[in-house]
Structure 1
Amino acid sequence: MKVVYRLLGVGSAECMIKIGEDRYTFYAGDVTNALGDILFALLRVNPLYPDGKYSPENNSATFRWDGEPEETEWGFRLIEGDRLLVTINHDHKIKLKTECSYQAFLEDILASAEQILEEYGILGFSEMWYGYGFPIESYLKLKYSQKHMSAFPLAEEDKSFKSDLTTEFKLLKEILKDDGSCEDLGK
C-alpha cells in the first residue's frame, strides 16, 4: 500500500491510495481541515498516547472531508498490534475497506506532510488552505512516536504541561539538509 496526500492548489487537496494495481483518489476542499483531520485521527488511534485520546475500548476515529460537492468519510480502527483497518465511504457508499500496517500508513502520511512543509512552509500552508494552520501539534507527536516508539515527553508542573522546544525544533530540522535547504522528500 502507498498513500500520498498533496495540495492541488489553493483550497484543494487529494489523497491517493494505491493497493497493488488499484488506485483510489479522494479530494478535499478548504471547508474541512483535511490534513489536520487525518493526522489527528492517526494520533487518536495511536496506542502510545493513552491520555484520553486512545483506549483499547475506543480504538477508532472518523472524520469527513467535504470535496465540494463530494463527501468522503474516513474511518480508522486499530485492530491488533500494528494492524489498521481503513474504511472510506465516498458519497455514502463504501469505496475502500482494507487492512494495512499502521506504521506504514503513518510513514506515508508523515512523508506527505513533510513534502508540504518543504514546498509551502508553515505560514504558506495556512494561506493555501484559507486559514487552517499546518497541524504542527499532531505532526510533532506522530513524528516523535514514529521515531522513538514512545509518546512525546511532556513535563507536568504546577497543573500545567510543558514540552521541550529543542526537541520540537530538532524534529522539524530533520526535514532540512545540512545547508539549511529542504530535502527532496518526494517518492
Structure 2
Amino acid sequence: FATKEELFKWLQAEKFNPAHWGAFTLENCLQVDYKEFTFATAAGHAKKVGISAVLIDLETFVLKSKDAAALREGLTTYCKQNELAFLVVMTMFMTADEQRHRQLLFFQECGDDTKHCVVFFDKEASLPLEILKLPETHRDEHVAAFNQLNTAASRKQAAPLIQRALVEPVVKL
C-alpha cells in the first residue's frame, strides 16, 4: 500500500495529467471541478453563476470545439442545462519549468453581467487581467478571455469579486 504522502503526490500528478484532460470533451472539462453560486444584483435580482476550474490552458480548452460556433453552442448548452446567468472558466496549468499560470474565460449568451465583472475586476485591481486572444477560429463576442496576472488567486478569491461586481450599480458600458 502507498503511504498517504505517496498517494497525495500521485493524485496531484494525475490531476494535471494532460492525457486525461486531452480525452475529455468540453463538457467533461466544465464538469470536473464545477461550483454554482447565487449572487444578488444591485437591482435585487438573483443571478446563478457557474465557475468551472479546468487544469489546461484556455487555448487547449476552446480547441475542444470545432470552431467559434461550436464553442458558443457548447457553452450555451451548459449554461441552459444548469440555468446559469453566465459561466466563468478558471484555468490553472503548469509550464515545463514548473511555473503556474492562470487564465479566465467569461461567457454570457445575452446580457452585460460579464462585461460589468471585467470592468469591476479592472477597477478593483486585486485580480488583474490581461486580454488573451483566443485562436481566430474560436473567437466569439460572447466569450472574453484573459490571462490572470495574480496567479495565487483561485475561485475562492474570484467568486467574492464576482459577487461584489454584481451588487455594484451598473454603469453604461
- Give yes or no for TM over 0.5: no
Task: Give the TM-score, by structure 2 length.
Answer: 0.28
Task: Give the TM-score, by structure 1 length.
Answer: 0.27
Higher relative contact order (CA 8 A, sep 6+): 2
> Relative to total residues, which structure has the larger strand share, 1 or 2?
1
> Relative to total residues, which structure has the larger helix share, 1 or 2?
2
